[in-house]
Structure 1
Protein backbone atom coordinates (compact mmCIF):
# COMPACT_ATOMS: atom_id res chain seq x y z
CA UNK A 1 0.00 0.00 0.00
CA UNK A 2 1.43 3.33 -1.04
CA UNK A 3 1.76 6.03 1.63
CA UNK A 4 -0.89 8.74 1.78
CA UNK A 5 -0.18 11.98 0.01
CA UNK A 6 0.02 15.33 1.77
CA UNK A 7 -3.38 16.24 0.35
CA UNK A 8 -4.93 13.01 1.64
CA UNK A 9 -3.52 13.60 5.11
CA UNK A 10 -4.92 17.13 5.14
CA UNK A 11 -8.33 15.86 4.06
CA UNK A 12 -8.30 13.32 6.88
CA UNK A 13 -7.25 16.00 9.37
CA UNK A 14 -10.06 18.36 8.35
CA UNK A 15 -12.62 15.56 8.41
CA UNK A 16 -11.49 14.50 11.89
CA UNK A 17 -11.66 18.09 13.16
CA UNK A 18 -15.22 18.45 11.84
CA UNK A 19 -16.16 15.15 13.50
CA UNK A 20 -14.73 16.26 16.85
CA UNK A 21 -16.38 19.70 16.73
CA UNK A 22 -19.76 18.23 15.87
CA UNK A 23 -19.50 15.82 18.78
CA UNK A 24 -18.42 18.65 21.10
CA UNK A 25 -21.46 20.74 20.14
CA UNK A 26 -23.77 17.82 20.89
CA UNK A 27 -22.12 17.17 24.25
CA UNK A 28 -22.12 20.85 25.22
CA UNK A 29 -25.89 21.05 24.67
CA UNK A 30 -26.34 18.46 27.41
CA UNK A 31 -23.45 19.14 29.79
CA UNK A 32 -22.55 22.77 29.21
CA UNK A 33 -19.21 23.88 30.69
CA UNK A 34 -18.91 20.49 32.44
CA UNK A 35 -17.95 19.04 29.06
CA UNK A 36 -14.71 17.05 29.10
CA UNK A 37 -12.49 15.85 26.26
CA UNK A 38 -13.34 12.27 27.24
CA UNK A 39 -17.06 12.99 26.72
CA UNK A 40 -16.34 14.29 23.23
CA UNK A 41 -14.31 11.21 22.37
CA UNK A 42 -17.20 8.95 23.39
CA UNK A 43 -19.73 11.02 21.42
CA UNK A 44 -17.50 11.03 18.34
CA UNK A 45 -16.73 7.33 18.58
CA UNK A 46 -13.01 8.08 18.73
CA UNK A 47 -10.25 7.17 21.13
CA UNK A 48 -9.42 9.65 23.88
CA UNK A 49 -5.88 9.93 22.57
CA UNK A 50 -7.13 10.78 19.08
CA UNK A 51 -9.23 13.70 20.30
CA UNK A 52 -6.51 14.83 22.70
CA UNK A 53 -4.07 14.87 19.78
CA UNK A 54 -6.17 17.63 18.17
CA UNK A 55 -7.37 19.38 21.34
CA UNK A 56 -5.51 19.11 24.62
CA UNK A 57 -8.13 21.18 26.49
CA UNK A 58 -11.80 22.02 26.13
CA UNK A 59 -11.14 25.77 25.96
CA UNK A 60 -9.32 25.44 22.65
CA UNK A 61 -11.98 23.06 21.36
CA UNK A 62 -14.87 25.37 22.26
CA UNK A 63 -13.09 28.39 20.80
CA UNK A 64 -12.47 26.66 17.47
CA UNK A 65 -15.98 25.23 17.42
CA UNK A 66 -17.54 28.69 17.80
CA UNK A 67 -15.33 30.37 15.20
CA UNK A 68 -16.04 27.54 12.79
CA UNK A 69 -19.79 27.95 13.40
CA UNK A 70 -19.52 31.72 12.87
CA UNK A 71 -18.12 31.10 9.38
CA UNK A 72 -21.39 29.32 8.55
CA UNK A 73 -23.66 31.76 10.37
CA UNK A 74 -23.57 34.73 8.02
CA UNK A 75 -26.23 35.39 5.44
CA UNK A 76 -29.08 33.44 6.98
CA UNK A 77 -31.54 36.40 7.09
CA UNK A 78 -31.50 36.55 3.29
CA UNK A 79 -31.38 32.77 2.70
CA UNK A 80 -34.79 31.49 1.51
CA UNK A 81 -36.21 28.13 2.48
CA UNK A 82 -35.49 25.88 -0.46
CA UNK A 83 -36.76 22.52 -1.58
CA UNK A 84 -33.85 20.16 -2.26
CA UNK A 85 -32.84 19.67 -5.88
CA UNK A 86 -33.43 16.07 -6.97
CA UNK A 87 -31.29 14.34 -9.57
CA UNK A 88 -32.51 11.98 -12.27
CA UNK A 89 -31.49 9.05 -10.06
CA UNK A 90 -33.65 10.38 -7.26
CA UNK A 91 -30.84 11.56 -5.00
CA UNK A 92 -31.25 14.84 -3.17
CA UNK A 93 -28.40 17.17 -4.04
CA UNK A 94 -26.78 19.43 -1.48
CA UNK A 95 -27.87 23.01 -2.02
CA UNK A 96 -28.40 26.36 -0.41
CA UNK A 97 -25.92 28.61 1.34
CA UNK A 98 -25.10 26.09 4.05
CA UNK A 99 -25.09 22.90 1.94
CA UNK A 100 -26.93 20.95 4.64
CA UNK A 101 -29.40 18.99 2.45
CA UNK A 102 -28.90 15.28 3.10
CA UNK A 103 -28.77 12.78 0.28
CA UNK A 104 -31.88 10.56 0.06
CA UNK A 105 -31.52 6.79 -0.11
CA UNK A 106 -34.24 6.14 -2.65
CA UNK A 107 -36.34 8.03 -5.19
CA UNK A 108 -39.43 7.69 -2.98
CA UNK A 109 -37.63 9.23 -0.03
CA UNK A 110 -36.29 12.06 -2.19
CA UNK A 111 -39.75 12.76 -3.58
CA UNK A 112 -41.24 12.80 -0.07
CA UNK A 113 -38.56 15.20 1.14
CA UNK A 114 -39.13 17.41 -1.91
CA UNK A 115 -42.86 17.62 -1.19
CA UNK A 116 -42.28 18.31 2.50
CA UNK A 117 -39.77 21.08 1.81
CA UNK A 118 -42.04 22.52 -0.87
CA UNK A 119 -44.83 22.82 1.68
CA UNK A 120 -42.43 24.54 4.09
CA UNK A 121 -41.32 26.93 1.37
CA UNK A 122 -44.93 27.81 0.55
CA UNK A 123 -45.71 28.32 4.23
CA UNK A 124 -42.66 30.51 4.69
CA UNK A 125 -43.76 32.68 1.77
CA UNK A 126 -46.85 33.59 3.80
CA UNK A 127 -44.66 35.03 6.55
CA UNK A 128 -42.97 38.40 6.72
CA UNK A 129 -39.22 38.62 6.08
CA UNK A 130 -38.27 38.55 9.77
CA UNK A 131 -40.55 35.60 10.55
CA UNK A 132 -39.33 33.68 7.50
CA UNK A 133 -35.73 34.32 8.54
CA UNK A 134 -36.59 33.08 12.02
CA UNK A 135 -38.00 29.84 10.65
CA UNK A 136 -34.91 29.31 8.54
CA UNK A 137 -32.58 29.97 11.48
CA UNK A 138 -34.42 27.50 13.71
CA UNK A 139 -34.19 24.87 10.98
CA UNK A 140 -30.47 25.51 10.63
CA UNK A 141 -30.07 25.02 14.38
CA UNK A 142 -31.88 21.70 14.09
CA UNK A 143 -29.39 20.59 11.43
CA UNK A 144 -26.24 22.09 12.94
CA UNK A 145 -26.08 22.18 16.75
CA UNK A 146 -22.87 24.21 16.68
CA UNK A 147 -24.85 27.10 15.13
CA UNK A 148 -27.38 26.93 17.98
CA UNK A 149 -24.53 26.85 20.48
CA UNK A 150 -22.97 29.92 18.86
CA UNK A 151 -26.16 31.97 19.27
CA UNK A 152 -26.80 30.64 22.78
CA UNK A 153 -23.34 31.52 24.05
CA UNK A 154 -23.42 34.87 22.23
CA UNK A 155 -26.42 35.80 24.37
CA UNK A 156 -24.25 35.06 27.41
CA UNK A 157 -21.41 37.23 26.11
CA UNK A 158 -19.34 34.12 25.39
CA UNK A 159 -18.65 33.94 29.12
CA UNK A 160 -17.54 30.32 28.72
CA UNK A 161 -14.40 31.62 26.99
CA UNK A 162 -11.55 33.62 28.52
CA UNK A 163 -11.94 37.38 28.02
CA UNK A 164 -9.08 37.48 25.55
CA UNK A 165 -11.00 35.11 23.31
CA UNK A 166 -14.55 36.27 23.99
CA UNK A 167 -13.99 39.90 22.96
CA UNK A 168 -12.91 39.27 19.33
CA UNK A 169 -15.60 36.62 18.91
CA UNK A 170 -18.26 39.01 20.24
CA UNK A 171 -17.11 41.70 17.80
CA UNK A 172 -17.20 39.28 14.87
CA UNK A 173 -20.65 38.02 15.92
CA UNK A 174 -21.97 41.56 16.06
CA UNK A 175 -20.62 42.23 12.56
CA UNK A 176 -21.60 38.94 10.87
CA UNK A 177 -24.88 38.11 12.62
CA UNK A 178 -26.40 41.02 14.53
CA UNK A 179 -25.74 43.71 11.93
CA UNK A 180 -27.44 41.86 9.02
CA UNK A 181 -30.41 41.06 11.26
CA UNK A 182 -30.63 44.71 12.32
CA UNK A 183 -30.79 45.70 8.65
CA UNK A 184 -33.60 43.20 8.08
CA UNK A 185 -35.52 44.53 11.07
CA UNK A 186 -35.17 48.11 9.80
CA UNK A 187 -36.26 47.03 6.33
CA UNK A 188 -39.42 45.47 7.73
CA UNK A 189 -40.13 48.64 9.70
CA UNK A 190 -39.85 50.66 6.50
CA UNK A 191 -42.19 48.28 4.67
CA UNK A 192 -44.68 48.64 7.51
CA UNK A 193 -44.57 52.41 7.07
CA UNK A 194 -42.54 53.14 10.19
CA UNK A 195 -40.11 55.97 9.55
CA UNK A 196 -36.49 54.98 9.76
CA UNK A 197 -34.44 56.58 12.50
CA UNK A 198 -31.94 58.01 10.04
CA UNK A 199 -29.15 55.87 11.50
CA UNK A 200 -27.38 53.12 9.66
CA UNK A 201 -29.44 50.10 10.73
CA UNK A 202 -26.34 47.91 10.99
CA UNK A 203 -24.92 50.31 13.62
CA UNK A 204 -28.13 51.51 15.24
CA UNK A 205 -28.03 50.65 18.98
CA UNK A 206 -31.80 50.31 18.98
CA UNK A 207 -31.93 47.84 16.11
CA UNK A 208 -28.92 45.90 17.36
CA UNK A 209 -30.65 45.57 20.71
CA UNK A 210 -33.80 44.36 18.98
CA UNK A 211 -31.73 41.83 17.05
CA UNK A 212 -30.17 40.56 20.29
CA UNK A 213 -33.57 40.25 21.97
CA UNK A 214 -35.07 38.43 19.00
CA UNK A 215 -32.24 35.90 18.89
CA UNK A 216 -32.39 35.40 22.66
CA UNK A 217 -36.12 34.66 22.40
CA UNK A 218 -35.51 32.15 19.61
CA UNK A 219 -32.74 30.46 21.60
CA UNK A 220 -34.96 30.10 24.64
CA UNK A 221 -37.95 28.76 22.75
CA UNK A 222 -35.82 26.40 20.65
CA UNK A 223 -34.18 24.64 23.58
CA UNK A 224 -36.95 22.16 24.40
CA UNK A 225 -37.76 21.36 20.77
CA UNK A 226 -34.08 20.85 20.03
CA UNK A 227 -33.63 18.40 22.89
CA UNK A 228 -36.71 16.47 21.74
CA UNK A 229 -35.45 16.37 18.16
CA UNK A 230 -38.50 18.31 16.97
CA UNK A 231 -37.04 21.72 16.22
CA UNK A 232 -37.16 21.50 12.43
CA UNK A 233 -40.86 20.63 12.32
CA UNK A 234 -41.81 23.00 15.16
CA UNK A 235 -39.87 26.00 13.82
CA UNK A 236 -42.92 27.69 12.30
CA UNK A 237 -44.97 27.19 15.49
CA UNK A 238 -42.22 28.82 17.55
CA UNK A 239 -42.05 31.83 15.24
CA UNK A 240 -45.82 32.22 15.32
CA UNK A 241 -45.79 31.94 19.12
CA UNK A 242 -43.25 34.76 19.30
CA UNK A 243 -45.35 36.81 16.82
CA UNK A 244 -42.33 37.74 14.71
Structure 2
Protein backbone atom coordinates (compact mmCIF):
# COMPACT_ATOMS: atom_id res chain seq x y z
CA UNK A 1 0.00 0.00 0.00
CA UNK A 2 1.32 3.41 -0.96
CA UNK A 3 1.87 5.62 2.10
CA UNK A 4 -0.36 8.66 2.32
CA UNK A 5 1.20 12.02 1.52
CA UNK A 6 1.39 14.83 4.04
CA UNK A 7 -1.36 16.64 2.12
CA UNK A 8 -3.61 13.59 2.35
CA UNK A 9 -2.96 13.25 6.07
CA UNK A 10 -3.72 16.95 6.55
CA UNK A 11 -7.01 16.57 4.65
CA UNK A 12 -7.98 13.56 6.77
CA UNK A 13 -7.14 15.43 9.95
CA UNK A 14 -9.15 18.50 8.87
CA UNK A 15 -12.14 16.35 7.91
CA UNK A 16 -11.99 14.49 11.23
CA UNK A 17 -11.89 17.77 13.16
CA UNK A 18 -14.91 19.07 11.22
CA UNK A 19 -16.71 15.82 12.04
CA UNK A 20 -15.90 16.18 15.74
CA UNK A 21 -16.86 19.86 15.89
CA UNK A 22 -20.19 19.24 14.17
CA UNK A 23 -20.95 16.47 16.65
CA UNK A 24 -19.92 18.72 19.54
CA UNK A 25 -22.41 21.38 18.42
CA UNK A 26 -25.23 18.82 18.30
CA UNK A 27 -24.36 17.48 21.73
CA UNK A 28 -24.04 20.98 23.19
CA UNK A 29 -27.53 21.84 21.98
CA UNK A 30 -28.84 18.78 23.81
CA UNK A 31 -26.74 18.87 26.99
CA UNK A 32 -25.13 22.30 27.28
CA UNK A 33 -21.99 22.45 29.40
CA UNK A 34 -22.75 18.95 30.69
CA UNK A 35 -21.33 17.77 27.38
CA UNK A 36 -18.61 15.12 27.69
CA UNK A 37 -16.01 13.84 25.24
CA UNK A 38 -17.65 10.40 25.20
CA UNK A 39 -20.95 12.01 24.16
CA UNK A 40 -19.26 13.73 21.24
CA UNK A 41 -17.48 10.54 20.22
CA UNK A 42 -20.76 8.63 20.19
CA UNK A 43 -22.48 11.36 18.17
CA UNK A 44 -19.64 11.45 15.65
CA UNK A 45 -19.49 7.66 15.39
CA UNK A 46 -15.88 7.65 16.57
CA UNK A 47 -14.02 5.97 19.37
CA UNK A 48 -13.42 7.88 22.60
CA UNK A 49 -9.66 7.61 22.07
CA UNK A 50 -9.92 9.12 18.60
CA UNK A 51 -11.66 12.25 19.87
CA UNK A 52 -9.34 12.40 22.89
CA UNK A 53 -6.38 12.34 20.48
CA UNK A 54 -7.55 15.72 19.17
CA UNK A 55 -9.04 17.19 22.35
CA UNK A 56 -7.91 16.34 25.87
CA UNK A 57 -11.02 17.76 27.53
CA UNK A 58 -14.34 19.37 26.69
CA UNK A 59 -13.07 22.89 27.32
CA UNK A 60 -10.44 22.53 24.61
CA UNK A 61 -13.11 21.11 22.31
CA UNK A 62 -15.57 23.94 22.98
CA UNK A 63 -12.79 26.51 22.59
CA UNK A 64 -11.94 25.15 19.14
CA UNK A 65 -15.60 24.83 18.16
CA UNK A 66 -16.31 28.47 19.04
CA UNK A 67 -13.27 29.83 17.23
CA UNK A 68 -14.18 27.85 14.11
CA UNK A 69 -17.71 29.23 14.43
CA UNK A 70 -16.32 32.75 14.74
CA UNK A 71 -14.39 32.40 11.48
CA UNK A 72 -17.52 31.16 9.72
CA UNK A 73 -19.61 34.00 11.15
CA UNK A 74 -17.04 36.62 10.21
CA UNK A 75 -16.85 35.37 6.62
CA UNK A 76 -20.64 35.37 6.38
CA UNK A 77 -20.92 38.85 7.91
CA UNK A 78 -18.32 40.29 5.56
CA UNK A 79 -20.01 38.74 2.53
CA UNK A 80 -23.51 39.82 3.52
CA UNK A 81 -22.85 43.34 4.80
CA UNK A 82 -20.20 44.46 2.31
CA UNK A 83 -22.62 44.86 -0.57
CA UNK A 84 -24.16 47.71 -2.48
CA UNK A 85 -27.36 49.25 -1.24
CA UNK A 86 -28.78 51.25 1.63
CA UNK A 87 -27.48 50.36 5.12
CA UNK A 88 -30.75 48.99 6.49
CA UNK A 89 -31.32 46.88 3.39
CA UNK A 90 -27.83 45.42 3.75
CA UNK A 91 -28.52 44.74 7.41
CA UNK A 92 -31.80 42.97 6.66
CA UNK A 93 -30.13 40.77 4.05
CA UNK A 94 -27.25 40.10 6.40
CA UNK A 95 -29.56 38.97 9.19
CA UNK A 96 -31.35 36.58 6.85
CA UNK A 97 -28.01 35.18 5.74
CA UNK A 98 -26.93 34.85 9.37
CA UNK A 99 -30.08 32.96 10.34
CA UNK A 100 -29.58 30.55 7.45
CA UNK A 101 -26.02 30.00 8.66
CA UNK A 102 -27.26 29.29 12.21
CA UNK A 103 -29.69 26.68 10.92
CA UNK A 104 -27.01 25.07 8.76
CA UNK A 105 -24.14 25.38 11.24
CA UNK A 106 -25.49 25.25 14.83
CA UNK A 107 -22.04 26.00 16.23
CA UNK A 108 -22.36 29.57 14.92
CA UNK A 109 -25.69 29.96 16.73
CA UNK A 110 -24.04 28.57 19.88
CA UNK A 111 -21.30 31.19 19.57
CA UNK A 112 -23.81 34.04 19.47
CA UNK A 113 -25.81 32.55 22.34
CA UNK A 114 -22.75 32.03 24.54
CA UNK A 115 -21.50 35.56 23.90
CA UNK A 116 -24.96 36.91 24.80
CA UNK A 117 -24.74 34.92 28.05
CA UNK A 118 -21.19 36.19 28.67
CA UNK A 119 -19.89 32.60 28.50
CA UNK A 120 -21.79 31.64 31.63
CA UNK A 121 -20.56 28.38 33.22
CA UNK A 122 -17.33 28.50 31.20
CA UNK A 123 -13.82 29.11 32.63
CA UNK A 124 -13.54 32.87 33.05
CA UNK A 125 -10.04 33.13 31.56
CA UNK A 126 -10.69 31.18 28.36
CA UNK A 127 -12.64 33.52 26.09
CA UNK A 128 -11.71 37.21 26.59
CA UNK A 129 -10.00 37.35 23.18
CA UNK A 130 -12.96 35.75 21.45
CA UNK A 131 -15.40 38.11 23.17
CA UNK A 132 -13.40 41.17 22.13
CA UNK A 133 -13.15 40.04 18.52
CA UNK A 134 -16.85 39.16 18.44
CA UNK A 135 -17.76 42.67 19.51
CA UNK A 136 -15.38 44.27 17.05
CA UNK A 137 -15.98 42.09 13.98
CA UNK A 138 -19.53 40.75 14.39
CA UNK A 139 -21.43 43.10 16.71
CA UNK A 140 -20.02 46.48 15.65
CA UNK A 141 -20.89 45.96 11.94
CA UNK A 142 -24.55 45.59 12.95
CA UNK A 143 -24.41 48.78 15.05
CA UNK A 144 -22.58 50.59 12.24
CA UNK A 145 -25.29 49.78 9.69
CA UNK A 146 -27.96 50.94 12.12
CA UNK A 147 -26.01 54.16 12.65
CA UNK A 148 -25.57 54.67 8.91
CA UNK A 149 -29.28 54.06 8.38
CA UNK A 150 -29.98 57.46 9.90
CA UNK A 151 -32.76 58.57 12.17
CA UNK A 152 -32.31 55.61 14.54
CA UNK A 153 -31.28 56.58 18.08
CA UNK A 154 -29.06 54.38 20.23
CA UNK A 155 -27.68 52.10 17.47
CA UNK A 156 -25.67 49.98 19.92
CA UNK A 157 -28.78 49.36 22.02
CA UNK A 158 -30.76 48.46 18.93
CA UNK A 159 -27.96 46.15 17.77
CA UNK A 160 -28.25 44.31 21.09
CA UNK A 161 -32.01 44.06 20.63
CA UNK A 162 -31.70 42.81 17.04
CA UNK A 163 -29.12 40.14 17.85
CA UNK A 164 -30.75 39.17 21.15
CA UNK A 165 -34.20 38.73 19.66
CA UNK A 166 -32.78 36.76 16.76
CA UNK A 167 -30.99 34.42 19.18
CA UNK A 168 -34.09 33.89 21.29
CA UNK A 169 -36.47 33.22 18.45
CA UNK A 170 -34.05 31.15 16.38
CA UNK A 171 -33.43 28.90 19.36
CA UNK A 172 -37.00 27.64 19.18
CA UNK A 173 -36.32 26.25 15.72
CA UNK A 174 -32.74 25.12 16.25
CA UNK A 175 -33.58 23.12 19.38
CA UNK A 176 -36.68 21.61 17.72
CA UNK A 177 -35.43 20.71 14.28
CA UNK A 178 -38.77 19.30 13.18
CA UNK A 179 -40.14 22.84 13.17
CA UNK A 180 -39.83 24.85 9.98
CA UNK A 181 -39.10 28.53 9.78
CA UNK A 182 -39.81 31.08 7.06
CA UNK A 183 -36.54 32.98 7.27
CA UNK A 184 -37.67 35.97 5.23
CA UNK A 185 -40.85 36.44 7.24
CA UNK A 186 -39.13 35.86 10.59
CA UNK A 187 -36.37 38.40 9.98
CA UNK A 188 -38.85 40.96 8.65
CA UNK A 189 -40.91 40.64 11.83
CA UNK A 190 -37.88 40.81 14.13
CA UNK A 191 -36.45 43.68 12.11
CA UNK A 192 -39.65 45.70 12.37
CA UNK A 193 -39.97 45.08 16.09
CA UNK A 194 -36.39 45.89 17.06
CA UNK A 195 -35.21 48.38 14.45
CA UNK A 196 -38.61 50.06 14.43
CA UNK A 197 -39.19 50.12 10.67
CA UNK A 198 -41.99 48.07 9.17
CA UNK A 199 -40.88 45.48 6.63
CA UNK A 200 -43.28 46.99 4.11
CA UNK A 201 -41.61 50.39 4.29
CA UNK A 202 -39.20 50.01 1.39
CA UNK A 203 -38.32 53.70 1.34
CA UNK A 204 -35.88 53.11 4.17
CA UNK A 205 -34.01 50.27 2.49
Tell me the residue number matched to 1:200.
none
Tell me the residue number matched to 1:62.
62
Tell me the residue number matched to 1:154.
115
Shift of 1:224: 1.3
Which of 115, 138, 156 pairs up with 1:177? 138
Gaps of 5+ in 2: 82-87, 196-205
Once residues 76 and 26 of structure 1 are traced to their aligned partners in structure 2, the CA distance between those partners, rounded to angstroms, is: 21
Aligned positions of 1:219-230 closer than 5 A: 219-229=167-177
SS at structure 2 position matched to 1:158: coil
Q: Output the TM-score relative to the length of structure 1.
A: 0.69
Once residues 93 and 179 of structure 2 are traced to their aligned partners in structure 1, the CA distance between those partners, rounded to angstroms, is: 15
SS at structure 2 position matched to 1:157: coil
Aligned positions of 1:1-244 closer than 5 A: 1-77=1-77, 79-80=79-80, 128-188=89-149, 190=150, 194=151, 206-229=154-177, 233-242=181-190, 243=192, 244=195
Report Cα offsets for 1:1-26 as digits up to 9, x if no partner: 01112221111111111110111011
The question of whether the paired residues in 1 share the 8 Å contact of 2:76 and 2:98 is answered with: yes
Gaps of 5+ in 1: 82-126, 198-205
Tell me the residue number matched to 1:84.
none
Once residues 74 and 168 of structure 2 are traced to their aligned partners in structure 1, the CA distance between those partners, rounded to angstroms, is: 21
SS at structure 1 position matched to 2:135: helix
Once residues 32 and 128 of structure 2 are traced to their aligned partners in structure 1, the CA distance between those partners, rounded to angstroms, is: 20
Call closer, same or farther: CA 1:17–1:160 in 2, change over 3 Å: farther
Once residues 36 and 100 of structure 2 are traced to their aligned partners in structure 1, the CA distance between those partners, rounded to angstroms, is: 28
Once residues 63 and 171 of structure 1 are traced to their aligned partners in structure 2, the CA distance between those partners, rounded to angstroms, is: 15
Once residues 213 and 74 of structure 1 are traced to their aligned partners in structure 2, the CA distance between those partners, rounded to angstroms, is: 20
Shift of 1:207: 2.8
Once residues 20 and 36 of structure 1 are traced to their aligned partners in structure 2, the CA distance between those partners, rounded to angstroms, is: 12
Once residues 27 and 162 of structure 1 are traced to their aligned partners in structure 2, the CA distance between those partners, rounded to angstroms, is: 19
Once residues 224 and 8 of structure 1 are traced to their aligned partners in structure 2, the CA distance between those partners, rounded to angstroms, is: 40
The question of whether the paired residues in 2 share the 8 Å contact of 1:23 and 1:43 is answered with: yes
Q: Output the TM-score relative to the length of structure 2.
A: 0.82
Report Cα offsets for 1:161-185 as digits up to 9, x if no partner: 3222121111010111011111111
Once residues 186 and 33 of structure 1 are traced to their aligned partners in structure 2, the CA distance between those partners, rounded to angstroms, is: 36
Report Cα offsets for 1:46-98 as digits up to 9, x if no partner: 111111111111000001110111111115456459xxxxxxxxxxxxxxxxx
